[in-house]
């Protein structure tokens, strides 16, 4: 009788040990008995594993942005994704300091929206082959988390991952100081909460574009990928709904310093109105006359541009681009 009781006790102990080991291997969130699942971190780990299988091994990727109404949540997801990628070592990651420099120059936020076209330009500037971006949106008690990887050269989507994540302690801590964007009639904020909601102010209307001549001194230099090229923006003239852009191949003077031709295919160049998120209609693209001569510069004329922040892109492959042209006050 005592031997049978002893064997039953040993058998039960062994079964409990095997079951515990199986649960630990099958689901990392049960590794510590009694601890609650870390939903957000587990989802980020799953997204990182997915990217490891989609971003080419040995390439370079930039973790660009996570669009959401919660900047702290966006920053957390990007930071942890980058940390996992660095430690996994499947592909390399653009240094955060380099990205912060570009972010400051182009004035975009980690939690804001970045178009695929702009993302490609940023990836080229940073020498990356892939761009990782995503979004987080609240759906009732859940948060919909999406991550995608895009090839810089072709804009091809390499992979897209998404999950519904429960509101755990981490998400609650990262979103407690922010209220989601409100659509429809404005509401009065609650006054009895322990912490007041921080509601982002409405975006100001873009400044009006004034007729006149906008000169750039020094001239704005263009980039082809991450390389600066001898293409410069001299001035922009705005008159009665038309905008004419003057491009030249020298940082100063009349355009005689770098040969007889200007690099860049501008006959179908794209001008983007960044304030109103639309493209201008190209009316004319011709070699410039005086004061620059006939072959060292171009005059590009557009309609349908009313904003003061512009991006100009040639049809070269890779394109030559002026990233962030800002028109403040005309010189005359």
The reply to whether 253 falls in a domain is yes
Tell whether 49 is covered by a domain. Answer: yes
Q: For strand 297-303 and strand 242-248, is the pairing parallel, antiparallel, or unpaired?
A: antiparallel
Same domain (yes/no): 164, 217: no
Give the integer Cα–Cα distance in Å for 290 and 143: 59
Domain of residue 112, residue span: 39-175
In this structure, the strands spanning 92-93 and 60-67 are parallel
The answer as to whether 90 is a domain residue is yes
Question: Does residue 180 contact residue 138 with C-beta atoms inside 8 Å?
Answer: yes
For residue range 212-260, what is the model confidence (pLDDT) as tens digits?
Answer: 999 998 899 988 887 888 888 999 999 988 999 998 888 887 766 554 4
pTM: 0.44
Domain CATH number, residue 156 = 3.40.50.10610
Q: Residues of the chain with pLDDT > 90: what percent?
A: 26
pLDDT band per the 50, 70, 90 thresholds, residue 149? very high
Nearest to 303 by CA among 251, 214, 242, 253: 242
Confirm whether 304 is domain-assigned: yes
Q: Is residue 63 part of a domain?
A: yes
The band of 186, judged by pLDDT with boundaries at 50, 70 and 90, is very low
How many Cα atoms occupy the beta-carbon half-sphere of 9 within 13 Å?
Answer: 6
Same domain, 82 and 161: yes
């Amino acid at each position: 009788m005592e031997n049978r009781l002893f064997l039953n006790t040993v058998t039960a102990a062994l079964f409990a040990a095997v079951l515990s080991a199986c649960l630990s291997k099958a689901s990392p969130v049960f590794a510590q008995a009694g601890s609650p699942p870390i939903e957000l971190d587990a989802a980020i780990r799953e997204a990182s594993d997915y990217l490891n299988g989609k971003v080419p091994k040995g390439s370079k990727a930039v973790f660009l942005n996570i669009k959401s109404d919660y900047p702290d949540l966006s920053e957390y997801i990007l930071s942890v994704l980058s940390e996992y990628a660095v430690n996994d070592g499947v592909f390399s990651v653009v240094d955060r300091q380099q990205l912060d420099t570009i972010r400051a120059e182009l004035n975009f936020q980690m939690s804001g929206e970045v178009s695929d076209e702009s993302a490609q330009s940023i990836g080229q500037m940073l020498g990356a082959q892939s761009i990782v971006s995503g979004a987080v949106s609240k759906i009732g008690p859940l948060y919909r988390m999406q991550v995608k990887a895009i090839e810089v050269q072709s804009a091809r989507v390499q992979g897209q991952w998404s999950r519904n994540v429960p509101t755990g302690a981490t998400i609650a801590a990262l979103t407690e100081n922010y209220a989601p964007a409100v659509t429809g009639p404005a509401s009065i904020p609650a006054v009895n909460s322990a912490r007041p909601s921080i509601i982002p102010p409405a975006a100001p209307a873009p400044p009006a574009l004034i007729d006149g001549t906008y000169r750039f001194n020094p001239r704005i230099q263009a980039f082809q990928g991450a390389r600066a090229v001898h293409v410069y923006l001299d001035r922009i003239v705005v008159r009665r709904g038309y905008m004419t852009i003057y491009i030249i191949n020298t940082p100063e003077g009349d355009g005689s310093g770098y040969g007889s031709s200007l690099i860049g295919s501008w006959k179908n160049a794209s001008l983007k109105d960044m304030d109103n998120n639309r493209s201008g209609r190209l009316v004319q693209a011709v070699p410039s006359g005086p004061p620059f001569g006939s072959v060292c510069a171009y005059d590009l004329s557009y309609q349908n541009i009313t904003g003061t922040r512009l991006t100009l892109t040639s049809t070269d492959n890779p394109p030559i681009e002026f990233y962030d042209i800002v028109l403040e006050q005309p010189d005359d």
